[in-house]
Amino acid sequence: MRALGVDFAPLNIPLKRRMQTLAVLFCAFLFFLNVVWGAALFAYLLFFTPFYYVPLLYTIWMAYDFKTPKRGGRPNGWVRRWLVWKYARDYYPVSLVKTGELDPNRNYIFGYHPHGISCVGAFLNFGTDATGFSELYPGITTLLLTLNINVHCPLSRELCLLYGEYRVNSSISPECRHPYSGSIRH
């Protein structure tokens, strides 16, 4: 189908594939544009609307809640189980292959390489439950490490905390001494 000089996807593309594409666009918005849009919305509310108090209150909240990213955020199982992650998994496709057992009473560090700017495979496997990690390795909690800027930008920060992401700094040794056993850092 062609309209206004733009070739659109054929109408016979299955709904499932369209949903997968929308899921990937949603992920792109969350990962790449959220930092930009969050900062832009913050500035717009602060300087150009009568709702200037919202970003001011949020700034106070961020200052009060400053140490939470160093403690692994506020992981939310509901967010990790969103259906959108399964559609994104099927788009690429991303899969998790279990090649051995992991003792749920120990902590682990996984390296993911090559990671690039967008760690979609790592995020879908270990930041969400899209590939069934919790069923393959019961009793083990996965937590991702992220750039400091991601946990200091408005809106992006809250999403990172919901995924249970830690901020990366020069040493992750405090994160490795997590009081709970069966944790994995990426």
Query: If pLDDT is split at 50, 70 and 90, which confidence band does 184 have?
Result: low
pLDDT score at 3: 72
Whole-prediction pTM value? Answer: 0.78
Task: For residue range 122-156, list pLDDT tens digits in order.
Answer: 889 988 899 999 999 998 888 888 777 777 888 88
Please report, as a single letter, which amino acid is at residue 22.
L
Task: For residue range 81-131, list pLDDT tens digits in order.
Answer: 999 999 999 998 889 999 999 998 888 888 887 666 668 888 899 888 999
| Residue 65 host element (H or E) | none
Cβ atoms of 130 and 88 within 8 Å: the answer is yes
Packing angle, helices 53-64 and 34-48, rounded to 10:
130
**Cβ count within 10 A of residue 40:** 12
- Collapsing DSSP to helix, strand or coil, 146 comes out as strand
Q: Rounded distance, CA 149 to CA 157, Å?
A: 8
Calculate what percentage of the chain has a pLDDT beyond 90. 30
Residue 9 has pLDDT above 80, yes or no: no
**Cβ count within 10 A of residue 140:** 19
> DSSP letter at 106?
S
Q: Rounded distance, CA 81 to CA 93, Å?
A: 17
Break the chain into its structural domains and give their ranges.
Answer: 10-185
Between the alpha carbon of residue 133 and those of residues 2, 94, 130, 159, 169, the distances in Å are: 42, 12, 8, 20, 26
Residue 50 has pLDDT above 70, yes or no: yes
Cβ atoms of 121 and 92 within 8 Å: the answer is yes
